[in-house]
Amino acid sequence: MVSLTLFSSFSSLHFFLLFLLLCAAGVNSSPSSTPPAKIGKGYRLISIEETPDGGIVGHLQVIQKNKIYGPDIPHLQLFVKHETQDRLRIHITDAEKQRWEVPYNLLPREQPPKLMQTIARSRKSPITVSEYSGSELIVSFTTDPFGFAVKRKSNGQTLFNSSSDASDPFGNLVFKDQYLEISTKLPKDASLYGLGENTQPHGIKLYPNDPYTLYTTDVSAINLNTDLYGSHPVYMDLRNNGGDPSAHAVLLLNSNGMDVFYRGNSLTYKVIGGVFDFYFFSGPTPLSVVDQYTSLIGRPAPMPYWSLGFHQCRWGYHNLSVVEDVVENYKKARIPLDVIWNDDDHMDGHKDFTLNPTNYPHPKLLAFLDKIHSIGMKYIVIIDPGIGVNSSYGVYQRGIANDVFIKYEGEPYLAQVWPGAVNFPDFLNPKTVSWWGDEVRRFHELVPVDGLWIDMNEASNFCSGKCTIPKGKQCPTGTGPGWICCLDCKNITKTRWDDPPYKINASGLQVPIGFKTIATSAVHYNGVLEYDAHSLYGFSQSIATHKALQGLEGKRPFILSRSTYVGSGKYAAHWTGDNKGTWEDLKYSISTMLNFGIFGVPMVGSDICGFYPAPTEELCNRWIEVGAFYPFSRDHANYYSPRQELYQWESVAESARNALGMRYKLLPYLYTLNYEAHISGAPIARPLFFSFPSYTECYGLSTQFLLGSSLMVSPVLEQGKSNVKALFPPGSWYSLFDMTQTIASKGGCYVTLDAPLHVVNVHLYQNTILPMQQGGMISKEARMTPFSLIVTFPAGATEGEAKGKLFLDDDELPDMKLGNGRSTYIDFYGTMTKGTVKVWSEVQESKFALDKGWHIEKITVLGLNGSGEASSVEIDGNPVMGASNIEMYTTEQKFHEELEDSDDKTETVMVEIKGLSLSVGKNFAISWKMGIKG
């Protein structure tokens, strides 16, 4: 929630006490009661044939039945297909009856062939296919027991191997109704990333023997190695063989709860339902892996320009005047602010789509929104899925009339969240999607919000089991914590869905899977069980909300969702949930952010300064220096915490002005990264290995990150430190805050950087052209300021080249693309050769930029080898006369003292050309000669 997840955050103590009670009652608190190491003898491949669409289909038969976790499914259908040049699918299901899969209408993809059990079983022909080759990947099979291996065609490297040897700690394929198991061998030097959402204390690399459980849960993000709000059963595997790096990814598209056991040299999935639906993405670069992954699951949503500005929120803005004061105080403090948020304070009795008539009177709220909208500011409010059970509440009445709620024993399932007793909309039901869209429309007519924040959608429930509204007492009471269950409830253990034979490590303590959520025997549309669809809830709500917002005014929607699944990035941004104001949580936020870029959800960030309890002044200084460079940058705090807006401390305000000041200058770059994410999946914030996959030193680096391919943030993450030890991959790096400062890292090295309290180190890599503007207090204002270009060459080189790009559009449009007459794309190029420096542009779709009148007024070139002044400036082939307003400055650059080499006397200079008026919408070329040292 935000809180609104208070339950998940502030209430983590309460949650922990509940866990202790569960443990005392005999609930196993170890990661999964240890199952037999090997279950059964696996399956035998008894037939295989080609399909008309170029795939192969096979039939598997269980070798020896057993009843551990239930009876084996005797016959399985295997389907294998190279769906694209770089994507392979392996699908295994019951050959005799349809099983639950992630709905094809939620996540569109190719359908596997229909079940062919009768044909397959009657065939006694020998196996004719032992290897199946595609452009990049090869699949090979062993028949008895069945196993498959996926290899990279170019070098024969095995990427996945499901066969089990006697010495392996895992067994062969297991396929039961409520227990599926499969494993793969791994080389010990493979670096794995992904398998979320969880807070990983060891950094971005998966850590052997840490638990990885996937099941969406309202557990505070302060809980380490625990299944949190999202389920992303995908991992990236990065290997380096003799300096030749290659990456691939593996997705198990399955929405059921699962434990994944990573042992370092093997990985085992233990899943409580569904099918095995594996997708392999061949890479071989990390960037191409994410491109291939998002081409299947959906490209990330285009974000409006303003969403890349700074956001302020708090649970506890008790009335509108407080919100007005916050906006005014940001202005007084000269700290940029684009979006003001309301947690549930604006609601009437915590009910969705309502306004509190006393604290947020409608006429005054509308006047406030008119005021902020007139300057380009935006307003977002929270919406929880639970709809208050209240006969006088129109939203509930219409929901009942349209039969939109999840059912238990034929009646709407009763739960408790902030309003008290609630029912949960069933977003798998088309009628619910229409009803939800209508409620969003009604609310937007009441309050013209600019986006929606959907929270508590794991789904979170303050009670467990089958509940009724108590007679004779108020629920909730109105006093005391709102997350204490006040319904009359009974545990539900009577079905195998509520009490499955295998217990995943739910909530990190192996609680029942229906604990504090919807009972898993509850029923969705068309008889779908909550047991199967549980982890899709937030995803399905994101899709419905996206459709609702897009239908309002035809504008580009902005949605922030706490719960996510494979494909959520196509519809929503994400924040990392309820964190703590601690140095550890500051550090963890980087790993979680980087993971979500891999998951195809690039618009991500953490609550700056921590959600609760109070951060220290020093921590808040350092946190805004990191958070100013999150893709999604928002300060957010708990109801029970002291105020922590960035202006509350003058020192934090200074750090905010510095860091956010730079963010607002970088908005055109960030927006271009947003475009790249939308067309190729490329993460906005990336681990360093994305740009330096050959440099193994950065494979586990979780304390620095890149924005795009070449802008590196190296923050202070420890208390009391005024410097930071940062890793610099090979090449030349230039400080963005002081461009005379150079770090030339020949083979890659650690460098100790000065970092006083108000300083964050941000460096730009060589061979880059970075577009920037002059910044401002709000993105709308900053967007209309003149541009500048920073061009970087390798320090001291006599020849070099640089590239950059810029995407500009009308960010109100639902689509983010070229060719609509309301967008412009520019490639920038730079070369340095034979003493001549040249910078030029190539413009596509020029009209939009020309109509806006944007121009470039300054170009700064770094790393030039020179001893003399720049001269002979030409623009578009014409010499610049001395009488023009153009001015040139040459400044000597300095190398970091740790890297000074007495044998290397190379002098490098920075050249600034000011007073330009180059139209962004037209091709230009500017060149000059340098006095090069011989």
Query: How many CB atoms sit inside 10 A of residue 104's CB?
Result: 10
- Label residues 490-516 b or e (16+ Cβ within 10 Å = b): eebeeeebbbbebbbbbbbbbbbbbbb
Residue of 458, 530, 635, 857 with catalytic role? 458
Please indicate whether residue 458 is annotated as part of the active site: yes
**pLDDT tops 90 at residue 478:** no
CA–CA distance, 914 with 449 (Å, rounded to integer): 41
Among residues 572, 612, 68, 697, which one has the least CA distance to residue 300?
A: 572
Among residues 540, 541, 570, which one has the least CA distance to residue 384?
A: 541
Angle in degrees, 0-180, between the axes of helices 537-553 and 430-446, rounded to the nearest 10: 50
pLDDT of amino acid 116: 75
pLDDT of amino acid 719: 98
CA–CA distance, 627 with 753 (Å, rounded to integer): 19
Note whether 635 and 312 are within 8 A (CB). Answer: yes
3-state helix, strand, coil in the chain (%, to 5): 20, 30, 45
Please indicate whether residue 654 is annotated as part of the active site: no
DSSP 553: H
**Burial class of residue 35 in the structure, from the number of CB atoms within 10 Å of its CB (0-12 exposed, 13-18 middle, 19+ buried):** middle
Q: What is the average pLDDT score of the chain?
A: 93
pLDDT of amino acid 14: 38
Please give the torsion angle defined by the CA atoms of residues 548, 552, 557 and 558, in that order, rounded to the nearest 10 degrees: -80
Residues facing 383 on adjacent strands: 454
Q: Is the dihedral of CA 851, 857, 862, 868 positive or negative?
A: positive
pLDDT of amino acid 36: 67
Question: What is the token pair recorded at 909?
Answer: 């200079």
pLDDT-based confidence at residue 907 (cuts at 50, 70, 90): confident
Note whether 707 and 593 are within 8 A (CB). Answer: no
**pLDDT tops 90 at residue 6:** no
CA–CA distance, 538 with 553 (Å, rounded to integer): 24
pLDDT-based confidence at residue 4 (cuts at 50, 70, 90): very low
Note whether 751 and 745 are within 8 A (CB). Answer: yes
- Label residues 313-329 b or e (16+ Cβ within 10 Å = b): bbbebeebeebbebbeb
- Mean pLDDT throughout 73-77? 98
Q: Which residues contact 332 (CB under 8 A, 6 or more apart)?
A: 647
In the chain, which residues fall in CATH 2.60.40.1180? 687-931
Number of H helices, E strands in the chain: 15, 53
CA–CA distance, 198 with 229 (Å, rounded to integer): 8
Note whether 447 and 365 are within 8 A (CB). Answer: yes
> Cα–Cα–Cα angle for 880, 886, 887, nearest 5°?
115
Among residues 402, 395, 417, which one has the least CA distance to residue 476?
A: 417
| Count of positions (residues) in the chain | 934
pLDDT of amino acid 904: 56
CATH of domain 687-931: 2.60.40.1180
Chain segment 783-797, per-residue pLDDT in tens? 999 999 999 999 998
Note whether 203 and 587 are within 8 A (CB). Answer: no
User: Which residue type is seen at 600?
Assistant: G
CATH of domain 305-674: 3.20.20.80
pLDDT-based confidence at residue 30 (cuts at 50, 70, 90): very low
pLDDT of amino acid 870: 75
Going from the C-alpha of 195 to that of each of 45, 233, 608, the distances in angstroms are 30, 5, 24
Chain segment 805-816, per-residue pLDDT in tens? 999 999 999 999
Among residues 622, 626, 612, which one has the least CA distance to residue 649?
A: 622
**pLDDT tops 80 at residue 123:** no
> Cα–Cα–Cα angle for 902, 904, 909, nearest 5°?
115
pLDDT-based confidence at residue 897 (cuts at 50, 70, 90): confident
How many whole angstroms from its chain centre is CA 530? 25
Query: How many CB atoms sit inside 10 A of residue 30's CB?
Result: 10
Chain segment 646-664, per-residue pLDDT in tens? 999 999 999 999 999 999 9
Note whether 113 and 55 are within 8 A (CB). Answer: yes
Residue of 352, 426, 578, 857 with catalytic role? 578
pLDDT of amino acid 865: 87
Residues facing 733 on adjacent strands: 743, 765
Q: Is the peptide bond before 31 cis (omega within 30 degrees of 0)?
A: no
**pLDDT tops 80 at residue 120:** no
- Mean pLDDT throughout 892-911? 76
CA–CA distance, 920 with 915 (Å, rounded to integer): 15
pLDDT of amino acid 127: 63
Angle in degrees, 0-180, between the axes of helices 617-627 and 583-598, rounded to the nearest 10: 10
The SS3 of residue 533 is helix
CA–CA distance, 129 with 106 (Å, rounded to integer): 34
**pLDDT tops 50 at residue 13:** no
How many whole angstroms from its chain centre is CA 261? 23
In the chain, which residues fall in CATH 3.20.20.80? 305-674
DSSP 145: T
**Alpha-carbon Rg for the chain in angstroms:** 29
CA–CA distance, 812 with 211 (Å, rounded to integer): 43
**pLDDT tops 70 at residue 7:** no
CA–CA distance, 808 with 461 (Å, rounded to integer): 43
Helix (H) or strand (E) holding 622: helix 617-627
Please indicate whether residue 900 is annotated as part of the active site: no
pLDDT-based confidence at residue 718 (cuts at 50, 70, 90): very high
User: Which residue type is seen at 113?
Assistant: P
Pairing of strands 894-895, 741-745: parallel
- Mean pLDDT throughout 332-357? 97
CA–CA distance, 166 with 143 (Å, rounded to integer): 17
**pLDDT tops 60 at residue 519:** yes
**Burial class of residue 648 in the structure, from the number of CB atoms within 10 Å of its CB (0-12 exposed, 13-18 middle, 19+ buried):** middle
Helix (H) or strand (E) holding 118: helix 117-122
The SS3 of residue 132 is strand
In the chain, which residues fall in CATH 2.60.40.1760? 42-297
Q: Which residues contact 843 (CB under 8 A, 6 or more apart)?
A: 824, 825, 826, 849, 920, 921, 922, 923
pLDDT of amino acid 419: 94
Share of the chain above pLDDT 90, in %: 87
Note whether 101 and 55 are within 8 A (CB). Answer: no
Residue of 136, 291, 345, 455 with catalytic role? 455
pLDDT of amino acid 5: 36
Q: Where are the alpha helices (DSSP H) in 210-334?
A: 286-297, 320-333
pLDDT of amino acid 866: 73
- Mean pLDDT throughout 383-395? 97
The SS3 of residue 202 is coil
CATH of domain 42-297: 2.60.40.1760
Residue corresponding to tokens 């598997």: 60
- Label residues 882-921 b or e (16+ Cβ within 10 Å = b): eeeebebebeebebbeeeeeeeeeeebbbbbbeebebbbb
> Cα–Cα–Cα angle for 630, 632, 638, nearest 5°?
100
Residues facing 762 on adjacent strands: 713
- Mean pLDDT throughout 153-179? 96
Question: What is the token pair recorded at 55?
Answer: 């795939």
Pairing of strands 87-94, 276-281: antiparallel
Chain segment 847-867, per-residue pLDDT in tens? 999 999 999 999 999 999 876
Note whether 101 and 91 are within 8 A (CB). Answer: no
Note whether 321 and 288 are within 8 A (CB). Answer: no
pLDDT-based confidence at residue 482 (cuts at 50, 70, 90): confident
Note whether 826 and 924 are within 8 A (CB). Answer: no
**pLDDT tops 90 at residue 18:** no
Beta strands in 656-772 (DSSP E): 685-686, 705-707, 711-714, 723-728, 731-735, 741-745, 749-754, 761-765, 768-772
User: Which residue type is seen at 791?
Assistant: V
Chain segment 278-313, per-residue pLDDT in tens? 999 999 999 999 999 999 999 999 999 999 999 999
**Cα separation of the two ends of the chain:** 63
**pLDDT tops 60 at residue 1:** no
Going from the C-alpha of 713 to that of each of 407, 728, 769, the distances in angstroms are 49, 11, 17
CA–CA distance, 557 with 572 (Å, rounded to integer): 9
Chain segment 180-200, per-residue pLDDT in tens? 999 999 999 999 999 999 999
Residue corresponding to tokens 């220096």: 625
